[in-house]
Chains A and B, each alone.
Chain A
């Protein structure tokens, strides 16, 4: 990596996080730790959940501090930043679907979503005998992703069974299809399917049909998904800081691509594995970020 050329004046950086929760705190620690000790920077940190007038606060803060760069952590914070400035570079993280910010020209960052090829690779690692994989999705948001996923699955010897749910009313009949011919349900970020309102229905259907669910996040695994790929939040902070340092060293933000987390971790719900009579190797259990018993 090329050593950044640091300006001598103090850099003003805004850090806007959705809320003051542990994952965000870890990412913030990661961001700060990545800046070299000689780098003169002033971080102004805000948690949106603690701010009353969210719509105007950021515009006021931009006028007040004239930031060189904005770190956003979480979707709400990122949306607000994009809405507030079209010129100041924004580096986001802690966002599941990075594509939703692809229209903005002053944005780059680290999405939480792993590429589908990575998901499939880990599926083959953890459930080597499971080949019939269902993904429930809405066509408006995910049809392109599913087209690509089908090709990737085919190359990996997996049979991808896409189930379309364009309206929430279609979800029950989609989940009924788990009964026949499906071995595992892979979840992807999807506004219609994977919403807070549908989470319980999806998890309970997974138990009922004994079709393991691959969760979207740590909490999905804790709540009953068999396993899920996870992240090292501090490392994500560091990864986004590396992007920021490139921007601050003069590289055009448009030339810095969105990235996925570089350090892959996973969690396993061993209780679910037991109930579903799925054997997970000792080695996988040993290397997991966390195992729920």
Chain B
């Protein structure tokens, strides 16, 4: 393993330092006449919105930030949001062949459903109101082609965003009409008979009206020859799971903007067969599947007054539906009696937000705001021959927050904020974040951060029970709490090369989990504390000829405080190399990435092996005006690897795909 890490570091340092700086350092001696050789065209904007709820330089942001652009998504050939996230330092993805889970800083409990990360779509809170979750695979709500950029803010952000902003906030910013300027159609085909078609239209008219519309359909047969040794028995088809890994996704989104108002709407649904025999369902039965549907309509008002007071308000309607079919054999003799157990959740909520930002007393940028959410439907049920679970709750929550970015001197900045959240289910919680940022030079930032965050018990944890047949109702659940202390050093060696090193220490208390009681019953309880500390380091370079590279290393130790044992699905080491190289100026690019992850513990007290994955994509554009094509190979060296299974799996590890491919074309009219 150490050899592999050393190889990564060596290769990446060569790649980074062999590039000559394409441009001279920016110097404006006389603006009128001597901007000289400097050109800014198409540089990435080193700014971030999501860290403080307003646009600020990354070097001033009170967090460690990663940004993925639309250009990178194309050139690396990413197919899923899971692939986007797992390319980032400290992030890793887990796939149980049903949903995608994202781990960060060593915390990625199997079947966590991403409840400890907050997903924003254009600033709109997307996590649902039943599980407080989102998916990074087929149920992820957006076609990656419609994404303009992804901002990832590491660390606790509950002081601005409330629950689920626990390990980080992911804000996905979608394309605007002006970004498209016409019709764009794409089609792709890949392994497992996977095809995807998309049509998008966008423009900004002279009247000021701006429109973006997009629709996507995706279908795959999936892997038709899955094998699990844990089921290698004639009674379970010798471990072979055939013809039951199909998936279909439909996505529609629309954005309409006029002056200060923007109306966004999104519909997504996904049906996925579950080919793992999870929850002790009948192995290799075609009835095992999940269906997820999510809808939102969001109206935003965003205005900056002449006195530079920025006012933003949002109101949205949201809907989430999940249904699952789980086949069980109720036969008491040799003749099968397959019954599909139905699991279902329906959530509806509306949400209102308001915030105001203004620079005051010259050096203070103050943001105040609040939000209210009415969960007027939180319905859960489980039934087959009889109904085991039925619950429908009406809950609400509200919050107020304040944040001040105080430029003490040119070199010192203090960013401090606090938020009070009230939940009708458990009461109130207060979470602060303080960042002291020192910029000894314009190219360097040293950030010392402290923040706390919480994850409220979700509706599933609160009310999904069968009155004690197998699961007891929970009692007085409280939110999970997290405290993080972090030191970040960022430095730009020149306008092309940047480095960042983070040291973090996190303590989590009152983790919510399903506990087996002495009488064999299950109950959700606040139990267990976790401590985690680690280092993340990254060196990255970007050049105007289109060459980009980054290498990152993350080491983390995340342990259960009671047992002093490493958590399940928590790798100790991760090394990542990303590289985009122009093969033909502005026409052909190669995107290459390699990721190494050390072994991970599984819930069955075993391990899955370390993983070394590489992906390669060839991307071309503008041979014919408006036409882009790409071809990608994923898991290039056909590595056999596993992600840890979770409590509902019999398998120790779920085998992942070997070498796969995808070809894709898009045409702009």
Q: Hey, which bits of chain A sit against chain B, CB under 8 A?
A: 18-19, 21, 23-24, 74-75, 94, 96, 112, 129-132, 164, 167, 169-170, 172-174, 176-177, 179-181, 183, 194-197, 199-200, 203-204, 207-208, 210, 216-217, 219-220, 222-224, 269, 271-272, 275-277
Contacts and interface: CB of A to CB of B under 8 A. Distances in A.
Nearest to B622: A274
Contacts of B302: 179-180
Nearest to A76: B30
A169 B362 contact: yes
Contact of A219 (B35, B178, B303): B35
17 contacts: A18-B33, A21-B34, A94-B32, A96-B32, A167-B362, A181-B260, A199-B40, A200-B26, A204-B40, A207-B42, A208-B45, A216-B32, A217-B33, A220-B35, A223-B41, A272-B41, A277-B182
Contacts of B29: 196
A272 B40 CA distance: 11
A176 B41 CA distance: 19
Given A131-B206, A203-B40, 12 more contacts: A21-B33, A94-B33, A167-B359, A180-B260, A181-B260, A183-B206, A195-B31, A204-B45, A207-B40, A208-B45, A269-B41, A271-B41
A177 B304 contact: yes
Q: Which 3 A-B pairs rank lowest in CB-CB distance, beginning with the nearest?
A: A196-B28, A219-B35, A277-B181
A201 to B, nearest CB: 9
B233 to A, nearest CB: 59
B88 to A, nearest CB: 22
A196 B32 CA distance: 9
A24 B208 CA distance: 43
A219 B34 contact: yes
A27 to B, nearest CB: 10
A217 B41 CA distance: 16
Q: What's the interface size class on B, roughly? A: 35 or more
Given A18-B30, A210-B179, A176 B359 contact: no
A14 B260 CA distance: 56
Interface in B17-36: 26, 28-36
Contact of B259 (A181, A210, A269, A276): A181
A167 B179 CA distance: 31
B39 interface: yes
B35 A223 contact: yes
B359 A170 contact: yes
Contacts of A200: 26, 40
B257 interface: yes
Contacts, number: 107
Q: Is the interface of B mostly helix, strand, loop or mixed?
A: loop
B308 interface: yes
A213 B530 CA distance: 52
Nearest to B365: A169
A23 B30 CA distance: 12
B35 A217 contact: yes
Given A173-B304, A177-B304, A217-B32, A223 B39 contact: yes
A203 B41 CA distance: 8
B623 to A, nearest CB: 16
A283 to B, nearest CB: 21
A207 B179 CA distance: 11
Contacts of B259: 180-181
B41 A181 contact: no
Contact of B42 (A75, A181, A275): A275
A207 B527 CA distance: 50
Contacts of A277: 178, 181-182
A176 B45 CA distance: 13
B489 to A, nearest CB: 23
Nearest to B180: A277
B519 interface: no
Interface string B440-476: 0000000000000000000000000000000000000
Given A180-B259, A199-B28, A164 B306 contact: yes
A223 B33 CA distance: 12
A174 B308 contact: yes
* Most chain A CB neighbours (cut-off 10 Å) among B26, B29, B45, B304: B304
Interface string B294-332: 000000001110101010000000000000000000000
A194 B31 contact: yes
A170 B32 contact: no
Nearest to A272: B41
Contact of A170 (B33, B55, B308): B308
Contact of A207 (B31, B41, B176, B363): B41
B21 to A, nearest CB: 17
B334 interface: no
A132 B208 contact: yes
A165 to B, nearest CB: 8
B605 interface: no
B38 interface: yes
Contacts of A196: 28-29, 31
B33 A222 contact: no
A24 B20 CA distance: 32
A219 B45 contact: no
A176 B33 contact: no
* Most chain A CB neighbours (cut-off 10 Å) among B30, B42, B43, B363: B30
A196 B40 CA distance: 13
Nearest to B27: A196
Contacts of B257: 180
Contacts of B45: 204, 207-208
Contacts of B28: 196-197, 199
A210 B31 CA distance: 23
Given A181-B260, A223-B38, A223-B40, A173 B308 contact: yes
Contacts of A222: 35, 39
Given A131-B206, A194-B31, A224 B178 contact: no
Interface in B248-270: 257, 259-260
B39 A173 contact: no
Contacts of A96: 32
Contacts of B308: 170, 173-174
Contacts of A179: 302
A167 B310 CA distance: 16
A23 B34 CA distance: 10
A176 B55 contact: yes
Given A194-B31, A223-B35, A176 B42 contact: no
Contacts of A164: 306
A130 B204 CA distance: 11
B42 A172 contact: no
Contacts of B208: 132, 181, 183
Contacts of B176: 210
Given A170-B308, A180-B260, A181-B260, A204 B43 contact: yes
